[in-house]
Structure 1
Amino acid sequence: MHNKLLNVRLYVPDSISKHSIIRLDTLASHYISKVMRATKCNHVKIFNGKDGEWIGEICELSNNIKIRIDKLTRKQVKSKNLTLCFGIVKGTILPNIIRQATEMGVTLLQPIYTQHIATSNINLDKCRKWAIEASEQCERLDIPQILHPISFTDLKKLDTANINFIICDETGNGKKPAEILTNKNNIYIIVGPEGGFSSEELNFAYTFCNGLSLGTRILRVDTAVVSALAYVNEYYYV
Structure 2
Amino acid sequence: MRANYKMQRLFVPHRLTAGEPVEADPQQAHYLLNVMRMSSGSEVLVFNGQDGEWLARLAEAGKKKAQLVPVAQTRTQPPPPDLLYCFAPLKQGRIDYMVQKAVEMGAGRLQPVITQHTQMSTVGLDRLQANAIEAAEQCGILAIPKVAQVVKLDRLLWEWEPGRRLIFCDESADSNNPTEALKAVSESKIGLLVGPEGGFSDDERRQLKTLPYVTPIPLGPRILRADTAAVAALAVIQATIGDWH
Distance 1:6 1:41 in 2: 17
Equivalence for 1:198: 201
Scaled by the length of structure 2, what TM-score is found?
0.91
Distance 2:188 2:194 in 1: 20
SS in 2 for 1:7: coil
Unaligned runs of 5+ in 2: none
Equivalence for 1:215: 220
Task: Provide, for residues 158-199 of structure 1, a one-character-per-residue CA deviation record: whole Å limited to 9, x for no partner.
Answer: 345301011100112466234335242321100000011010
Residue identity matched to 1:69: P
Give, in angstroms, the shift of residue 61 of structure 1.
4.4
Q: Quick check: 1:131–1:144 contact (8 Å CA) kept in 2? A: yes
Note the aligned Cα RMSD (angstroms): 1.6
Equivalence for 2:7: 7
Percent of residue pairs identical? 33
1:111 paired to 2:116: no
Distance 1:133 1:160 in 2: 29
Give, in angstroms, the shift of residue 32 of structure 1.
0.7
Equivalence for 1:162: 163
Task: Provide, for residues 106-139 of structure 1, a one-character-per-residue CA deviation record: whole Å limited to 9, x for no partner.
Answer: 0111111111111111100101111100000000
Scaled by the length of structure 1, what TM-score is found?
0.93
Identify if the C-alpha distance between structure 1 residues 88 and 6 changes in structure 2 by more than 3 Å, giving closer, same or farther.
closer
Q: Quick check: 1:6–1:43 contact (8 Å CA) kept in 2? A: no
Identify if the C-alpha distance between structure 1 residues 6 and 213 changes in structure 2 by more than 3 Å, giving closer, same or farther.
closer
Give, in angstroms, the shift of residue 6 of structure 1.
7.2
Equivalence for 1:140: 141
Runs of 4+ in structure 1 over 4 Å off: none
SS in 2 for 1:40: coil
Distance 2:217 2:6 in 1: 43
Q: Quick check: 1:97–1:225 contact (8 Å CA) kept in 2? A: yes
Equivalence for 2:21: 21
1:93 paired to 2:94: yes
Count of residues in Structure 1 that have an aligned counterpart in Structure 2: 234
1:230 paired to 2:231: no
Equivalence for 1:151: 152
